[in-house]
Amino acid sequence: MKKLTITALALASTMMTTPVLADGHGSKIVDEPLELTIHMHHKRYTSYDEDWPVEQTAREMTNIHLKNKTFGSNTPQSDEAINLLLASGQLPDIIGTSRIRDVVNQYGPQGAFTPLNDLIEEHAPHMKAYFDSHPDVKSAITSSDGNMYYIPYLPDGKYGRAYFIRYDWVEKLGLEIPNNVDELKTVLEAFRDGDPNGNGKKDEVPYFARQWEELIRLVTLWDGRSSGSDTYHDYYVTDGKLAHPYAGEGYREGIKNLAEWYAEGLIDAEIFTRGSSSREFLLSENMGGMTHDWFASTSGYNRLSADIEGFSFKAFAPPASISGKRIEEHRRIPFKPDGWAMGGTNEHPVETIKYFDFWFSPEGRDLVNFGVEGAQYTLVDGEPQFTQEFLDAGPVNSSLYQIGAQLHARGYFQDYEYEKQWSNEFALEGIALYDEGDYLIDQFLGVSLNADEQKVYDKYNAQLRTYMLERQQAWILGTGDVEADWADYQAQLENRGYSKVLEVMQAAYDRQYN
């Protein structure tokens, strides 16, 4: 049953994006080879490489020949590189970089980038088909002046993080996998007191996280929110109304309880400073009990079962909140702020948009997702399948970067099938579990502020967030009492411009998504 669901999902997503109309006469865009210049920068590949096999194949298929004109290849900082490029005043035909969204939204209306709406409408059938079927994404990448200035990298697959717990500990302590917040507390207390790792020491860390923000994530168990998107501390949207998660009642209740949990030792005492190695450390030392982290990488730790007897760290369904809701707040965002755009002085906009569109065509998608046919993959029953040789060669995603596939500094639509083919069985099992329950909730895809709105946002938002985080940590650490402070906290948020920020964001949201 589970397997069937996944296959059905994959099938559906493929069918949905299979273009209805295609030229059918090969994918050559121009008869004579045409050269276009490109700036491509990402921390993993700081310049465009004409020798990437994927690029060579694309050149043959489209007759478009990209020439590298990347600025700042000596720095891994893409924002630095794009600033250098902008300051130079000479934009190439194509600009592909991570975090391009803010750049195009700010400088597109100033003329630095070419608006893409009409071009897509007239010359890019595959992209048009995608945007027609994903109006929310189209709205999200629309700038404040109503134009689209970039084609995003569109990740496929919905699931990001999940709740993970030591199944073997739960079993050993004679408990059940927790179904709600009260049961969860019981289990964590048992982890703390029951010496599940059996070393005679009370060294178990019931709940830990690589990012302390994942502690705040637990406020969802009290119907609070911690973020509206895949970035921490982001605004969220319900019924078309924006709000900040750290201003809500559920958040207050959640923080109050988490502060108790922290004081009682159910939470890693060092959660704020242990940092990114905490998962590796606490799991391999047989001390960590539960976390909220990415499916794929966290499932990978089950390899520890070779060293730790019975080790089983698997995903479990989100426990029901106090009102009985089970939600998984984190999910993969359907589009990323990374991608590529067309320079404002591009003399071949039609050819360029057709070239962009090529990567959304079935051949282009196979190429960008799986690499070159015959080299990295073969067609099995008409579907691309990585060769076993390639799968065995090492980490699949970095191997793909090296040949020019799956580059996030390019606008393309990912095919989840690519990731599934090398995913850990525990991850797939977990994803199936989450699929079953349909725990995901709607995402806030961001707003494009116009210049005036941006000013208000810039003026207030950073310090607003600073204040929220300060209070938040103080409450968790017990140096403040959320119940006693709440009225004052609300007043302070107001003083610091909360409703002003909300107002401009709501205006932008209404403009963008209605």
Partner 1 sequence: MQKKLAWFLQHMRREWQIYVLLAPTIIWFILFLYKPMYGLQIAFKDYSIFRGIAGSPWVGFEHFQTLFESDTFVRALKNTVIISALSMMFGFPMPIILALMFNEILNQTYKKTAQTLVYLPHFISTVIIAGIVVTAFSPSAGIVNTIIGWFGIEPIYFLTKPEWFRPIFIGSGIWQEAGFSSIVFLAAIAGVNPSLYESAVVDGASRWQMMWKITLPSIMPTIIIMLIIRIGNILEIGFELVILLYQPATYQTADVINTFIYRQGLQGGQYDVAAAAGLFNAVVAFVLVMTANTISRRVSRTSLW
Q: Which residues bind partner 1 (CB under 8 A)?
A: 79, 83, 86-87, 89, 102, 106-107, 110-112, 269-270, 272-273, 275, 454, 457-459, 461-463, 466-467, 469-470, 472-474, 477, 479, 496
State the helix-helix crossing angle for 482-495 and 249-264, rounded to 10 degrees.
130
In angstroms, the Cα distances linking 137 to 121, 134, 155, 277 are: 16, 6, 12, 34
Confirm if 102 and 44 have CB atoms less than 8 A apart: no
Backbone angles phi, psi at 397, to 5 degrees: -65, -40
Q: Which is nearer to partner 1, 346 or 369 (CB)?
A: 346
Q: Which distant-in-sequence residues (6+ apart) come within 8 Å of 40 by Cβ? A: 47, 48, 68, 70, 94, 96, 97, 340, 407, 409, 410
State the DSSP code for 387.
-
Q: Which is nearer to partner 1, 58 or 283 (CB)?
A: 283
How many CB atoms sit inside 10 A of residue 329's CB?
Answer: 25
In angstroms, the Cα distances linking 411 to 95, 197, 340, 449, 483 are: 10, 47, 5, 22, 47
Q: Return the sign of the alpha-carbon dihedral for residues 229, 233, 234, 240.
A: positive
Q: Which is nearer to partner 1, 16 or 477 (CB)?
A: 477
Confirm if 225 and 232 have CB atoms less than 8 A apart: no
Q: Which is nearer to partner 1, 109 or 318 (CB)?
A: 109
How many CB atoms sit inside 10 A of residue 101's CB?
Answer: 22
Confirm if 288 and 139 have CB atoms less than 8 A apart: no
Strands 64-68 and 34-41, how do they pair? Answer: parallel
Q: Which is nearer to partner 1, 106 or 369 (CB)?
A: 106
Calpha distance 406→130 (Å, rounded): 18
Task: Give DSSP secondary structure letters for 393-459.
Answer: TS-HHHHHHHHT-S-TTS--B--HHHHHTT--HHHHHHHHHHHHHT-B-PPP------HHHHHHHHH
In whole angstroms, how close is the CB of 397 to partner 1 at the nearest point? 26
Q: Which is nearer to partner 1, 7 or 90 (CB)?
A: 90
Q: Which is nearer to partner 1, 238 or 466 (CB)?
A: 466
In whole angstroms, how close is the CB of 328 to partner 1 at the nearest point? 25
Q: Which is nearer to partner 1, 79 or 171 (CB)?
A: 79
In whole angstroms, how close is the CB of 477 to partner 1 at the nearest point? 5
In whole angstroms, how close is the CB of 472 to partner 1 at the nearest point? 6
Q: Which is nearer to partner 1, 477 or 491 (CB)?
A: 477
Q: Does residue 447 come out as left (phi exceeding 0), alpha (psi in the -120 to 50 range) or beta?
A: beta
Q: Which is nearer to partner 1, 103 or 140 (CB)?
A: 103
The pair of three-digit structure tokens given for residue 111, joined into one six-digit string:
């003329």
Q: Which is nearer to partner 1, 110 or 305 (CB)?
A: 110
Q: Cα 251–255–258 angle (5° rounding)?
A: 135
In whole angstroms, how close is the CB of 13 to partner 1 at the nearest point? 34
Calpha distance 89→80 (Å, rounded): 15
In whole angstroms, how close is the CB of 269 to partner 1 at the nearest point? 5
In whole angstroms, how close is the CB of 267 to partner 1 at the nearest point? 12
In whole angstroms, how close is the CB of 272 to partner 1 at the nearest point? 5
Q: Which is nearer to partner 1, 325 or 459 (CB)?
A: 459
